[in-house]
Amino acid sequence: MNTTLNWPPAYKLRLSTRVKHVQWCFTLHRGLELVAPPSFKKEKAALYLTKHRTWIEKILTKHKSSLPNIETLPETLCFPAFQQHWTLQYISKFDKKIRLLQHGTRLLLSCSPIDDFILGQKLLRRWLKRQASLHLAPLLAEQATHMNLNFTEIKINQASTQWGSCNNKGTITLNSQLLFLPEALIRYVLIHELCHLIHLNHSKAFWKKVSIFDPDFLIHRQKLRSAHPFLPGCFLVHPKSIPL
């Protein structure tokens, strides 16, 4: 997101079935967003931008120095729970295609970290999803064995609303960006979703089960609410905390 206060500022329009009225929202990890019902006409966005200009300028000025640079690809990627540190190197294109090559702990991207941001970001997301399958699946299986529980399937996604989920068929879905979190937070998410195999709700019985395997779950749940510093800005996805 552009951190200058030139008008109009950069923002994202997000249509959501969860809202009934148009509203502006701002967070450090997602920047400025106009959230509106699905029926909202995109051409009206400029009117709402002008209408709330005073508030928008005030909030952007207040957080100008804290805004992450989300339009440049990273130089490093770290998976703290797995003691892995990746260095990204940007090299001249081999041909017209942008490629991502992996050599040991180096990732070679044949693109510019600024000019080819969108395409480079897409390749990094695909790579991250593959890494999540390699690392999170065994960790989930290990945790399930420890809890004497069985899930039927694991899926990996890059959702913007959840760190994980579990359905009534026993399928557990995990967000690939869990790789950027400390092990204690990853474990909490795994325990949370595995407990849904017993209680597919957030009842007192569910939380009691969670507390058996993670006595500090309240601390971990709170930390997930402010987990954005762990995530590279280029991924542009920040899941909300696990539902209460």
CB 210 within 8 A of CB 191: yes
Band (pLDDT 50/70/90 cuts) for residue 1 is very low
**Per-residue model confidence as pLDDT tens digits over 20-30:** 899 888 876 66
For residue 177, which of 164, 196, 167 has the smallest C-alpha distance?
Answer: 164
**CA torsion, ordered 185, 241, 126, 168, to nearest 10 deg:** 90
Average per-residue pLDDT for the chain: 85
Tokens of 65: 């120095």
**Per-residue model confidence as pLDDT tens digits over 197-244:** 999 999 999 999 999 999 999 999 999 887 877 888 666 455 544 443
Q: Which CATH number applies to 76-235: 3.90.1150.10, 3.40.50.12780, 3.30.2010.10, 3.40.50.2300? A: 3.30.2010.10
For the chain, give every domain's residue range.
Answer: 12-66, 76-235
C-alpha distances (whole Å) from 143 to each of 62, 87, 131, 219 are: 43, 30, 19, 19
**Per-residue model confidence as pLDDT tens digits over 182-205:** 999 999 999 999 999 999 999 999
- Residue 71 confidence (pLDDT): 58
